[in-house]
A and B are shown apart, each in its own frame.
Chain A
Amino acid sequence: MAEPLLRVDNLVRRFGGIIATDHVCLDVSKGEIHAIIGPNGAGKTTLISQLTGHLAPHAGRIFLGGRDISSFPAYKRSALGLARSFQITSLLTDFTAADNAALAAQAHDGRHSFRFFANARKEKPLRDAARAALERVGLGHRADVLVSKLSHGEQRELELAVALATKPQLLLLDEPMAGLGVTESQRMVKLLAELRNEVSIVLVEHDMEAVFALADRISVLVYGRIIASGKPDEIRQNEEVKRAYLGDQHVVVGHG
């Protein structure tokens, strides 16, 4: 079998006495949408942050395309094609939407940014790349609006556009639907479905309808441990998963 795009090997992260990531193993193949679900506090964001390099694991290793990236800082992982969206929207709020995406493109166009004189907003390739990414998520008409003036839904879409502008191999999406209305959520699901052929996705999400509509495989994280991993149908039938979710407000839906 070919080496998976992302392989996580026995990752451990503690916070004091709490094990937030408990020997997690995970692999994501090329072209796959791999969803990670679990109740609140299961350690999903902690896991994502270790994958992106914002948080150092205490043990275990992370491989991207067969390469051990466990000790790489966030920017290097980004250079290798790892992109993330944040659960709590994290954008450059005093910049326009286009600037946000253009900076992402600037970090990845192969030229360094120790350029002090030429006006970067007039670099056409960067602006074009930004516009393409914005149009991809349906924000083309809002390009010149300050992020702080965008609606919450638009900011969620921009999160995705910024990630796409880095031309990633693997997208780590931390609750892209968080706080979205019904129609906005549907738009996001449709968008992610379209992206399926271009990029592999790790999807952390509470919206079970979205997860079961999109995911090729699902891993269930509870108290930092992966208790089940498999195709959506297998997860739906899994007794342990049902038990873990019992009493929690997020009930696994019967049909996707």
Chain B
Amino acid sequence: MKSQLNVSSVVAALVVAGLVLLPVYSNLTGNIFILTLFTRIVILALSAVSLNLIMGYGGMMSFGHAAYLGIGGYAVGILAQEGIGSGWAQFAVAIAVSALYALVIGALSLRTRGVYFIMITLAFAQMAYYVASGLARYGGDDGLTVYKRSDFGGPINLGNRVQFYYLCLFCLLAVVALVWRIVNSRFGLVLQGLRSNEQRMQAIGFPSKRYKLACFVIAGMLCGLSGALLANNTDFVSPAVMYWTRSGDLMVMVILGGMGTLMGPVVGSVVFLVLEEVLSQLTEYWALIMGPLLLLIVLFGRGGIMGMLGRLNRG
């Protein structure tokens, strides 16, 4: 804990400060593109934070986390098309359906562990992908355009770029704070104990499965929220947001930033998505640079970026 309180917390604070001040920069320079890019980054960071709760703190390698992005997105898209424009209703449904999906998938998946858990979560997410592709009424393969953003009434207007950005950032920071409380709570200690040694935890009297399932559901709900925001950001939702490569991206963001660290997934998302953006402008073959770069960081920087920064302190 003590060592966290140096370089890595400074970097985390700088990242947050940067995110808070970004619209100011965008406004001063007239660079609207960067605001759009970072809105996406903040939203995906939220899903990475939620994935980190199961992967980093719970030790459950879920390879189907993007399913919740789709569930959240389709909740917004479908309700909007059916004439229910209220953001409160849309977001509530997004989160509730995500919770339900997580409960069912989790109850089945958590019977397995290790590589089987990875494969079964992947399989369920792919099922969700094909179900969405089959929704002919809602665009099927082509996806669904959201003609009107979620309506929260009052002064909240998601159509306003800056306001929407700050809403997303607020959600991200609130979720980070929530995760911070959770990991230090009774529940969080049990969760991390299970990651460390499940047999030991059972021997001292914890029914392990129900705690893991609860964690799985919480993470799913948070990612469902992120999905609802994402659909608002792109004004569009398609099965592609649930594709397994997207789940893989989320895992990479978490591992890159540092699994089981509070701000790791946020830092990882920023670095991953900015790199992707910058490299793809340089060359068509950007993945050729990105891949080895990520490999190097994962191979030599155990604990991701936050882990490397943590080691800097100790010299």
A residues bordering B, Cβ < 8 Å? 52-54, 73-76, 78-79, 83-84, 86, 90-95, 99, 102-104, 106-108, 113-121, 123, 162-163, 165-166
Q: Min CB distance, B99 to chain A, in Å?
A: 15
* B31: Cβ under 8 A from any A Cβ: no
28 A-B interface contacts by CB (under 8 A): A73-B202, A74-B203, A75-B202, A75-B208, A78-B203, A83-B203, A90-B200, A90-B203, A92-B196, A92-B200, A95-B192, A103-B190, A103-B193, A104-B204, A107-B206, A108-B205, A113-B186, A113-B187, A113-B189, A115-B186, A119-B181, A120-B185, A120-B188, A123-B186, A162-B200, A162-B204, A163-B204, A165-B204
Q: Min CB distance, A177 to chain B, in Å?
A: 19
CB distance A119 to B200 under 8 Å? no
* B160: Cβ under 8 A from any A Cβ: no
CB distance A116 to B204 under 8 Å? no
CB distance B187 to A92 under 8 Å? no
Q: Min CB distance, A68 to chain B, in Å?
A: 19
CB distance B200 to A120 under 8 Å? no
Cα of A54 to Cα of B198 in the assembled complex, Å: 11
CB distance B189 to A106 under 8 Å? yes
Cα of A239 to Cα of B125 in the assembled complex, Å: 65
Report which of B185, B199, B206, B207 forms a contact with A118, defined as CB distance below 8 A: B185
Query: What is the size category of the interface that chain B forms with chain A?
Result: 20 to 34
CB distance A120 to B204 under 8 Å? no
Residue numbers in A under 8 Å from B202 (CB-CB): 53-54, 73-75, 78
Known: A90-B197, A114-B214. A119 touches B184 (CB 8 A): yes
Residue numbers in B under 8 Å from A123 (CB-CB): 186
Residue numbers in A under 8 Å from B181 (CB-CB): 116-117, 119
* B211: Cβ under 8 A from any A Cβ: yes
Cα of A90 to Cα of B190 in the assembled complex, Å: 16
Q: Min CB distance, A77 to chain B, in Å?
A: 9
| Residues of chain B in range 201-260 having any CB-CB distance to chain A below 8 Å | 201-208, 211, 214
Q: Min CB distance, B184 to chain A, in Å?
A: 5
Known: A113-B211, A117-B185. A75 touches B197 (CB 8 A): no
List 4 extra interface pairs beyond A73-B207, A83-B203, A95-B192, CB under 8 A: A75-B207, A86-B200, A107-B206, A114-B186
CB distance B197 to A92 under 8 Å? yes
Known: A103-B193, A120-B186. A166 touches B204 (CB 8 A): yes
The 7 closest A-B pairs by CB, nearest first: A78-B205, A107-B205, A74-B202, A92-B196, A113-B186, A120-B186, A104-B204
CB distance A83 to B200 under 8 Å? no
Residue numbers in A under 8 Å from B207 (CB-CB): 73, 75-76
Cα of A74 to Cα of B198 in the assembled complex, Å: 11
CB distance A90 to B199 under 8 Å? yes
CB distance B182 to A116 under 8 Å? yes
CB distance A84 to B185 under 8 Å? no
Known: A74-B202, A91-B197, A94-B196. A118 touches B208 (CB 8 A): no
Q: Min CB distance, A89 to chain B, in Å?
A: 10
CB distance A84 to B203 under 8 Å? yes
Residue numbers in A under 8 Å from B205 (CB-CB): 75, 78-79, 104, 107-108, 166
CB distance A120 to B206 under 8 Å? no
Cα of A74 to Cα of B214 in the assembled complex, Å: 20
CB distance A115 to B206 under 8 Å? no
Residue numbers in B under 8 Å from A103 (CB-CB): 189-190, 193, 201, 204, 206
| Residues of chain B in range 103-122 having any CB-CB distance to chain A below 8 Å | none
| Residues of chain B in range 147-202 having any CB-CB distance to chain A below 8 Å | 181-182, 184-190, 192-193, 196-197, 199-202
Report which of A79, A95, A108, A116 forms a contact with B185, defined as CB distance below 8 A: A116
Residue numbers in A under 8 Å from B182 (CB-CB): 116-117
Residue numbers in B under 8 Å from A119 (CB-CB): 181, 184-185
Q: Which of B181, B188, B203 has the most CB of A within 10 A?
A: B203
